[in-house]
Structure 1
């Protein structure tokens, strides 16, 4: 790349000092360096490697880069919205499952209470049967004793 020097003046706000400019209100001169592609130095040489341009028209490539980046951003936003939708669906499923668990726990408690009541009723029934068995045995013993007493009286 070749460089060119140009000498120019700055804005009119600057006042000159010293020997740079004798007139009042004339700004001091500034040196500007401009780099551009030198066709003389590059004659017969093609663009080699990954660099396809001299960089002078970078803005044209940047427009395409911005479009590409916008497409990437749009794709990412779509992915984010899809994931947010999935999160919402999973939250709804979780709420449904929580409701089912609550209902199952309530049913389980009711069934547990019924089993306890049945156990108590079974125990009471068993005690009643034992009492009835004892009463039956006593009645049978009384009947046999009367039969034996009657037999003994008849045989005498």
Structure 2
């Protein structure tokens, strides 16, 4: 496969190399970038590089094989960050669900507190009424006793 490339400002020819033990890299649009060899004369003759199959028309991905693998490192770091984002989003969803359940529990507790407050008012009213009834009964008993004492003293 012959294609014209620009690497470092010089024009060179290349061919794809298959069956290599080199790691696979992915280009900017996430396709496997084939390893190619510079076939044109110059200081880079015979040097291997990764170049996108669409290169240079749309992608622009280019990396010498013997260069430090910054792209792979960056892709790995990006993958790690994407993984961390996914984990945080999942944690956020779980926390949102927990908040929703706690809000519902809070509403239920508020309803129960209001019901208990009403029951408390009723019990207090009944207790006050019972105390008043007890006082009236005692008053009636004492008044009858007092009436009896007065009647006995008149004789």
- TM-score computed with the length of structure 2 as normaliser: 0.59
1:59 alignment counterpart: 44
Counterpart pick for 2:118 among 120, 129, 153: 120
Alignment of 1:1-156 (within 5 A): 57-59=42-44, 63=48, 66-69=64-67, 71-156=69-154
Structure 1, gaps ≥5 residues long: 1-55
Bigger mean CA offset, 92-101 vs 65-74 = 65-74
Give the 3-state SS of the residue equivalent to 1:58 in structure 2. coil
- TM-score computed with the length of structure 1 as normaliser: 0.58
The structure whose Rg is larger is 1
More helix by share: 1
Aligned-partner Cα distance in 1 for 2:125–2:140: 22
Q: CA RMSD in A?
A: 2.3
Structure 2, gaps ≥5 residues long: 1-40, 50-62
Which protein has greater RCO, CA pairs closer than 8 Å, 6+ apart? Answer: 1
Runs ≥4 in structure 1, deviation > 3 angstroms? 60-65
